[in-house]
């Protein structure tokens, strides 16, 4: 088995990946500064002999988990909130770009065979015409101009990843995530991810907040499908020396109104006391009207495709979040 570094290990995506890699017998060296991640996400791993954690900040150029030979680096740490990056562009640049450069240098120093980088489908956010959907990997960065600071920082970082890998003979694989949802989503953001935001409001007996008129459409992927995607990438790409990019999405999209209806129905299976009114607020700037990933490349080259329907995924997520909220209330 192999040694893996995961940055952002206490975050939503990172903790699921760490648990899966350890389950498959790998050694995981996780790092997180806990600005966006939570120790509760990795509590069950702390006593596992194959898991090693360090509170570290990728903005520190000497950040590293351990002085050992590393096989793979999964760089997931970032500030991914569109509104936060809009309000804090210098810090967004520092974390998402300079932090990435720091990790790349450490990956080389520790002898990494391959670097996996969490990119974003927000790089496609300037597309509006139907001819661009579903959006394929080749369409970025040559044919797009991201609207917000967040995708700009991620596009810049992704170019550094590609160039660094090429110049240092290290394989690189980039993932353009769509909207990922599921258990352990971060609900503490000022504006949480929409599935979690609707769920927490409704289960607390409050009106759900909807930004805009609800007609925006998003491609949603359940975290379990994403974790399967990561493992498929590791198996297919772990020994390769070139660079490739893959969309990580479902290949289907849903309007925000559809999301609300689906979450509302799932919440009513838990309690009948669910508000029906929606608190509409002005739309958030710097966000795409439509996201829809073309996932044919991942299907053909990785042998992966999603297996969890949006309805089933939402029901699983709502049940998990309801259990978490009940446990928090009991403690």
Given 150, 177, 246, 260, which residue is catalytic? Answer: 150
CA distance 9 to 19: 10
The reply to whether 246 belongs to the active site is no
Rg over alpha carbons for the chain, rounded to the nearest Å, is: 19
The dihedral sign for the CA sequence 235, 236, 240, 246: negative
Burial class (CB in 10 A: 0-12, 13-18, 19+), 139: middle
Q: Please answer whether residues 75 and 7 qualify as being in contact, where contact means their C-beta atoms are separated by less than 8 angstroms.
A: yes
Burial class (CB in 10 A: 0-12, 13-18, 19+), 307: exposed
Non-local (6+) Cβ contacts of 112 within 8 A are 5, 70, 71, 72, 73, 170
Helices (H), the chain: 12-23, 82-87, 89-93, 99-109, 149-168, 194-203, 223-237, 256-268, 296-302, 310-330
Task: Describe the crossing of helices 194-203 and 256-268 by its angle, rounded to 10 degrees.
Answer: 40
Q: Please answer whether residues 60 and 54 qualify as being in contact, where contact means their C-beta atoms are separated by less than 8 angstroms.
A: no
3-state SS class at 69: coil
Identify the CA nearest to 9 among candidates 44, 25, 1.
44
Structure tokens at 240: 């390769």
Structure tokens at 30: 């996780």
Residues identified as active-site:
150
């Amino acid at each position: 088995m192999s040694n893996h570094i995961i940055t952002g290990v206490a975050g939503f995506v990172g903790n699921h990946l760490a648990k899966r890699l350890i389950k498959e017998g790998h050694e995981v060296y996780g790092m997180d500064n806990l600005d966006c991640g939570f120790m509760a996400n990795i509590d069950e791993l702390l006593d596992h002999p194959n898991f090693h954690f360090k509170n570290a900040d990728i903005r520190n150029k000497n950040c590293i988990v351990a002085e050992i030979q590393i096989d793979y680096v999964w760089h997931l740490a970032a500030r991914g909130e569109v509104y936060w990056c809009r309000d804090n562009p210098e810090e967004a640049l520092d974390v998402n770009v300079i932090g990435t450069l720091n990790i790349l240098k450490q990956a080389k120093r520790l002898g990494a065979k391959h670097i996996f980088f969490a990119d974003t489908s927000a790089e496609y956010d300037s597309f509006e015409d139907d001819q661009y959907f579903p959006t394929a990997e080749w369409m970025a960065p040559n044919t797009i101009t991201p609207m917000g600071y967040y995708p700009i920082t991620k596009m810049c970082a992704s170019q550094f990843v590609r160039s660094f890998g090429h110049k240092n003979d290290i394989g690189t694989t980039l993932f353009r995530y769509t909207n990922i949802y599921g258990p352990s989503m971060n609900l503490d953001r000022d504006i949480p991810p929409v599935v979690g935001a609707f769920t927490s409001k409704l289960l607390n007996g409050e009106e759900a907040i909807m930004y805009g008129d609800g007609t925006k459409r998003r491609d949603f992927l359940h975290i379990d499908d994403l974790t399967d995607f990561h493992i498929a990438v590791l198996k297919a790409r772990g020994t390769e020396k070139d660079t490739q990019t893959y969309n990580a999405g479902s290949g289907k999209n849903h309007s925000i109104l559809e999301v609300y209806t689906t979450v509302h129905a799932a919440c009513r299976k838990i309690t009948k006391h669910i508000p029906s009114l929606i608190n509409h607020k002005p739309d958030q700037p710097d966000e795409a009207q439509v996201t829809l990933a073309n996932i044919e490349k991942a299907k053909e080259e990785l042998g992966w495709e999603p297996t969890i329907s949006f309805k089933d995924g939402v029901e699983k997520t709502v049940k998990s979040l309801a259990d978490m909220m009940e446990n928090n209330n009991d403690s």
